[in-house]
Amino acid sequence: MILKLPEPRFRGKVSVEEALLNRRSVREYSKDKLTMQEISQILWASQGITQKKWRLRTVPSAGALYPIEVYAVLEEGVFHYRPYEHSLKLIKRGDVRCELCEACLNQEYVRNAPLVLVFTGVFNRTCRKYGERGIRYVLIEVGHASQNVYLQCESLGLGTVAIGAFYDSEVKKILDLPKEHEPLYVMPVGRKK
């Protein structure tokens, strides 16, 4: 199943400077679901296309190789974000947030967030060109994507937190990730309590 996302907006009510000033890690969320427009906006900020001809994205990437893949974990299931189509592809049906919470050392905000982003890296995409140095470039890139999500959430009045403490193999198993997709960051997203 492919879910086409609403088009992202390119103007907001919060300046970059305000988003930077107010950005905080938020670990408590209300039970309210996010709208599809909000989910669309957050995913676009993480890896969305900003220039169609050259397929450039919202984050810089060494050699424009884009090794970061984003998964959206919702109550309905696990979805893979497809930036070129700005859509979600269903990978696994059902709510896996409880299992994902356990894999993230029982950090409750993973279980309670209406949306959990999982950033993965496909290291071979970058290391083929840059050798071992490519590992560093992939890790830098996931940092760029994470900061974009923080700032986009702040501009939408939402909260998020970047989580690096998890069992990689468990996250891969729970999300049915392809072998070459290595989990790098988990980011629950929700309305601030």
Instruction: Write the pLDDT tens digit of every residue in 101-122.
Output: 999 999 999 999 999 999 999 9
Per-domain boundaries in the chain: 2-6+14-191
The answer for 37, left when phi > 0, alpha when psi is -120 to 50, beta otherwise, is alpha
Gap between the Cα atoms of 32 and 192, Å rounded = 10
CB proximity list for 3: less than 8 A, separation 6 or greater: 79, 87, 88, 89, 90
pLDDT at residue 61 in the model: 98
**Alpha carbon distances (Å) from 164 to 133, 167, 179:** 21, 9, 19
Residues in the chain predicted with pLDDT less than 50, given as ranges, are none
Gap between the Cα atoms of 83 and 56, Å rounded = 10
Gap between the Cα atoms of 60 and 75, Å rounded = 31
The CATH code that applies to domain 2-6+14-191 is 3.40.109.10
Gap between the Cα atoms of 113 and 157, Å rounded = 14
**Phi, psi angle pair for 144, to nearest 5°:** -60, -45
Has this prediction a pTM greater than 0.75? yes
Beta strands (DSSP E) in 52-169 are 56-57, 68-74, 77-82, 87-93, 115-121, 158-160
Handedness of CA 178, 62, 47, 165 (dihedral sign): positive
Contact 107, 101 (CB under 8 A): yes
Gap between the Cα atoms of 40 and 175, Å rounded = 20
Gap between the Cα atoms of 165 and 162, Å rounded = 9
Structure-token pair, residue 52: 């169609």
pLDDT at residue 156 in the model: 97
Q: What is the pLDDT of residues 22-44, one digit of tens each?
A: 999 999 999 899 999 999 999 99
